[in-house]
Chains A and B, each alone.
Chain A
Amino acid sequence: MLALFFILVFPGFIFLSLLGLAGQFVDRKIYARLQNRMGPPWYQPFADFIKLLGKEDIVPAEANPRMFKLMPLFSLTAVVTAFLYIPLWDIKSLLSFNGDVIVVLYLLTIPTITFFIGGWYSTSLYARLGSVRALTQLCAYEIPLFIGILSSALLANTWSLSEIALFYNSHPWYWTFNFIGFGVSLIALLGKLEKVPFDTPEAETEIVAGSFTEYSGRLFAFFRLTMDIEMIVGASLITAVFLPFGLTLHPYISLVLFLVKIFGVIALISLARSLFARLRIDQMMRFCLKYVTPIALVQLLINIFLKGFLYR
């Protein structure tokens, strides 16, 4: 019974949804202040979600209705499941086993595939273009993301997120070796979340809304909720792997520290959004494979040397 409460309410589905909507507010408010504007009030994302739930969802006549309607559900399930494995404000996460770093990374790939399938089965020209771009982008940013996160796991000598947190807590200051990996993972996270400068799959001025062109009403509300929760899950993954300090303090202080860390990562994402223009798909591939991946490999090499050095 208690497990059901943990999974559905706290820190499961309902808590995660509220945190996702709050994260969207923080992102939009900081983005607006960076541009010298007022920004939305605190209840804006909640109001948007409730309004979208009340609208009619229209399925295009030529689309495949079953695939079209199932995709938001799949993506939402995947990101909520990924959250259960991440240690938040305690060393132990809700569920853990050896190898769950890779499982979390794979679960985070599922939303991108559902964007592709949903866009492809929409049979609208703009949606097809957007979905193909989303999958092309996946090939570019997955490599630096995997290398960055796995190099930190390499130093901790384990593939389990809870044990990574345990390792870094017992060896304080080891997480400072991973700064390059932190930077590389943040850039790759921008690609996963499809935010500027990597938001070609959803470019508003070129292909209307990419894979989401034909979605409306409840289905669109769930896709947007997925994207918000994906932002929170990505931020907490990076926090758990690269900033694992202060996890053994009193639980309430730990919780506050966790929220500060997540919103700090979201603030960095908003800052990156406001500084750059959008890159074209071929420029984005070239940038990721030519510049970001070698830097990630450098971090991997550093960690391999350090591991040999420290485990003498």
Chain B
Amino acid sequence: MAEEKDFKIPIGPQHPALKEPEGFSVALKGEKILGVEIRLGYNHRGIEKACEDRTYIQDLYLIERVCGICSHSHSTCFVQAVEEIAKLEVSKRAQYIRTIIAELERIHSHFLWLGVAGHEIGFDTLLMYTWRDREIVMDLLAKLTGNRVNYSINTIGGVRRDITDSQKKEILEAVDKLEERTKYYIEIATQEVSIIKRLKGVGVLSKDDALRLGAVGPTARASGISRDTRKDDPYAAYSEVSFNVATDTNCDVFGRTVVRLKELMEAYKIIRQLVGIVPAGAIVIRAPRKIPVGEAISRYEAPRGEDVHYVKANGTEKPERVKIRAPTLANIQAVKRMLEDRFLADMPIVIAAIDPCFSCTDRAILLEEKNSSKKNIMTWQSLRSYSIDWYRKRGIDFSKLSEKIKG
């Protein structure tokens, strides 16, 4: 019926399997995958450049909107870098509040991932149930911080809102309810036959491959690599609580599910310890508007892996350079390796298993000219004039656009 010839099928940029646009070009023979070509860059918004035109306080809100799910991660990572340059000693109470919100964000992100994984293998009931339980966390975060996503609780020098005693009780009640639901999902994930058939043996990444390709986060921890920034390089209040790093030796998508479920149980442990011992004190210290000259790198364990921010300050109100390395960028090389010799039906769940967040990933793309092998780097001015000329040749004129925006 079908001749066994190779053809290339595009998964993306627009595809029901992907939540965000990304280009995968899959070479198929029948149902077997021969190779994958990945093309990134559809979500590039020029955030790093935009940061240089805004003050540090305005940058806080811009960096937070790099990603909706791990917004607190990016915000805290940036603020930690700026505070390191300005040599500010943030009070202990602020560190504890930041950590509590960070763990609550990890809980909400992992519940979201469980639902998405269920949807990709066709199990919509799991999607509906996990997202219903996620509402408990979202409502709690709305009470604590004022919004369900993009919490904006950080400011340079501390946090903006305080936690009252009645809110502490609500946090503990919510954690109890969520722990009961998580135990149910652990039971389902390890015993339901159709889930195990779809997840075991799929997307295998051996330990050597994970080390060689630079995987981070639950993707690496499921291959037996015990690497977690919260333990290797503690920040905020993580040095004052005790918890275990969740690893698994299954090396496949099932292992990644188990790692995330174990991380959920650890998060409940951490939150209970923190809520019990929050010290009294001020929540914010006065920060200068002009940050002195210096540069700093700060690392943070986002729900998807290790997030790295680099900030360079030059003594004015606006930063000189901000660079963000999101965890998905480190994991996406591993996707090619995982998909060799697998079926097309495994593609959505393998991509979903690294928990992709392409909004975080896209920073800059390299375009190679077809006919020449020379590479050249364009400065900001030459890139701008090149793009205006490109559009003018095609009949589109942007000179009236700036008045339209201001008016």
Give the complex CA separation of A208 and B122 in angstroms. Answer: 13
Determine how close the nearest CB of chain B comes to the CB of A27; give it in whole angstroms.
13
State whether A279 touches B194 (Cβ < 8 A): yes
Determine how close the nearest CB of chain B comes to the CB of A262; give it in whole angstroms.
24
Instruction: Give the residues in chain B near A205, CB-CB below 8 Å.
Output: 16-17, 119-120, 122, 348
Q: Is B377 an interface residue, CB under 8 A from the partner?
A: no
Q: Which of A200, A206, A208, A279 has the most chain B CB within a 10 Å cutoff? A: A206
Give the complex CA separation of A207 and B343 in angstroms. Answer: 13
**Closest residue of A by beta carbon distance from B18:** A205
Determine how close the nearest CB of chain A comes to the CB of B180; give it in whole angstroms.
16
State whether A276 touches B128 (Cβ < 8 A): no
Instruction: Give the residues in chain B near A35, CB-CB below 8 Å.
Output: 124-125, 128-129
**Restricting to B167-210, which residues have a CB under 8 Å from any CB of A?**
192, 194-195, 197-198
Instruction: Give the residues in chain B near A12, CB-CB below 8 Å.
Output: none
Which of A2-10, A100-108, A280-288 contacts the other chain?
Answer: A280-288
Q: Is A125 an interface residue, CB under 8 A from the partner?
A: yes
**Restricting to A262-312, which residues have a CB under 8 Å from any CB of B?**
274-283
Determine how close the nearest CB of chain B comes to the CB of A127; give it in whole angstroms.
11
State whether B128 touches A278 (Cβ < 8 A): no
**Closest residue of A by beta carbon distance from B197:** A283
State whether A278 touches B121 (Cβ < 8 A): yes
State whether A197 touches B194 (Cβ < 8 A): yes
Q: What are the interface flags for A197-223 relative to B under an 8 Å C-beta threshold, 1 for contact and 0 otherwise?
A: 101100111111000000000000000
State whether B123 touches A208 (Cβ < 8 A): no
**Closest residue of B by beta carbon distance from A196:** B122
State whether A277 touches B198 (Cβ < 8 A): yes
Q: Is B321 an interface residue, CB under 8 A from the partner?
A: no
State whether B198 touches A280 (Cβ < 8 A): yes
State whether B198 touches A282 (Cβ < 8 A): no
Contact of B132 among A36, A132, A277 (CB under 8 A): A36
State whether A206 touches B17 (Cβ < 8 A): yes
Q: Is A129 an interface residue, CB under 8 A from the partner?
A: yes
State whether A277 touches B194 (Cβ < 8 A): yes
Instruction: Give the residues in chain B near A29, CB-CB below 8 Å.
Output: none
**Closest residue of A by beta carbon distance from B202:** A280
State whether A199 touches B122 (Cβ < 8 A): yes
Give the complex CA separation of A199 and B344 in angstroms. Answer: 15
Determine how close the nearest CB of chain A comes to the CB of B202; give it in whole angstroms.
9
Instruction: Give the residues in chain B near A208, CB-CB below 8 Å.
Output: 15-16
Q: Is A143 an interface residue, CB under 8 A from the partner?
A: no
State whether A203 touches B123 (Cβ < 8 A): no
State whether B9 touches A280 (Cβ < 8 A): no
Determine how close the nearest CB of chain A comes to the CB of B128; give it in whole angstroms.
4
**Closest residue of A by beta carbon distance from B349:** A205
Q: Which of B7, B122, B194, B343 has the most chain A CB within a 10 Å cutoff? A: B122
Determine how close the nearest CB of chain B comes to the CB of A121; give it in whole angstroms.
14
State whether B125 touches A206 (Cβ < 8 A): no
Contact of A278 among B1, B15, B123, B343 (CB under 8 A): B123
Contact of A277 among B7, B17, B31, B118 (CB under 8 A): B118
Determine how close the nearest CB of chain A comes to the CB of B218; give it in whole angstroms.
21
Query: Given contacts A206-B17, A278-B198, is CB(A129)–CB(B9) below 8 Å?
Result: yes
Determine how close the nearest CB of chain B comes to the CB of A12; give it in whole angstroms.
35
Q: What are the interface flags for B82-107 relative to A under an 8 Å C-beta threshold, 1 for contact and 0 otherwise?
A: 00000000000000000000000000
> Could you say which interface size class chain A belongs to?
20 to 34
State whether A281 touches B121 (Cβ < 8 A): no
Instruction: Give the residues in chain B near A135, CB-CB below 8 Å.
Output: 1
Q: Is B396 an interface residue, CB under 8 A from the partner?
A: no
Q: Is A224 an interface residue, CB under 8 A from the partner?
A: no
Give the complex CA separation of A46 and B2 in angstroms. Answer: 37
Q: What are the interface flags for B7-47 relative to A under an 8 Å C-beta threshold, 1 for contact and 0 otherwise?
A: 10110000111000000000000010000000000000000
Instruction: Give the residues in chain B near A278, CB-CB below 8 Å.
Output: 121-123, 194, 198
Determine how close the nearest CB of chain A comes to the CB of B372; give it in whole angstroms.
33
Q: Is B335 an interface residue, CB under 8 A from the partner?
A: no
Instruction: Give the residues in chain B near A132, CB-CB below 8 Å.
Output: 1-2
Determine how close the nearest CB of chain A comes to the CB of B189; give it in whole angstroms.
11
Instruction: Give the residues in chain A near B119, CB-CB below 8 Å.
Output: 205
Q: Is A253 an interface residue, CB under 8 A from the partner?
A: no
Instruction: Give the residues in chain A near B345, CB-CB below 8 Å.
Output: 200, 203, 206, 280-281
Q: Is A37 an interface residue, CB under 8 A from the partner?
A: yes
Q: Is A128 an interface residue, CB under 8 A from the partner?
A: yes
Instruction: Give the residues in chain A near B194, CB-CB below 8 Å.
Output: 197, 276-279
Give the complex CA separation of A129 and B124 in angstroms. Answer: 23
Q: Is B347 an interface residue, CB under 8 A from the partner?
A: yes
Contact of B343 among A37, A197, A204, A280 (CB under 8 A): A280
Give the complex CA separation of A283 and B122 in angstroms. Answer: 14
Q: What are the interface flags for A73-109 relative to B under an 8 Å C-beta threshold, 1 for contact and 0 otherwise?
A: 0000000000000000000000000000000000000
Q: Is A68 an interface residue, CB under 8 A from the partner?
A: no
State whether B129 touches A206 (Cβ < 8 A): no
Contact of B128 among A37, A129, A196, A277 (CB under 8 A): A37
Give the complex CA separation of A277 and B198 in angstroms. Answer: 8
Give the complex CA separation of A281 and B195 in angstroms. Answer: 15
Q: Is A34 an interface residue, CB under 8 A from the partner?
A: yes
**Restricting to B92-149, which residues have a CB under 8 Å from any CB of A?**
118-125, 128-129, 132
Instruction: Give the residues in chain B near A200, CB-CB below 8 Å.
Output: 345
Give the complex CA separation of A298 and B289 in angstroms. Answer: 81
State whether B16 touches A277 (Cβ < 8 A): no
State whether A206 touches B124 (Cβ < 8 A): no
Give the complex CA separation of A35 and B1 in angstroms. Answer: 39
23 contacts across the A-B interface (CB closer than 8 A): A34-B125, A35-B125, A36-B129, A37-B128, A125-B9, A126-B9, A129-B344, A196-B122, A197-B122, A203-B122, A205-B119, A206-B344, A206-B347, A206-B348, A208-B15, A275-B125, A278-B121, A278-B122, A278-B194, A278-B198, A280-B198, A280-B343, A283-B197
Closest 9 CB pairs of A and B: A278-B122, A277-B123, A277-B194, A35-B128, A205-B17, A277-B121, A276-B194, A280-B345, A205-B348
Point out residues on A near B: beta carbons under 8 Å: 34-37, 125-126, 128-129, 132, 135, 196-197, 199-200, 203-208, 274-283
Told that A125-B10, A206-B348 touch, could you supply 8 new A-B pairs with CB distance under 8 A? A132-B1, A197-B122, A205-B17, A276-B123, A277-B123, A278-B194, A281-B31, A281-B345
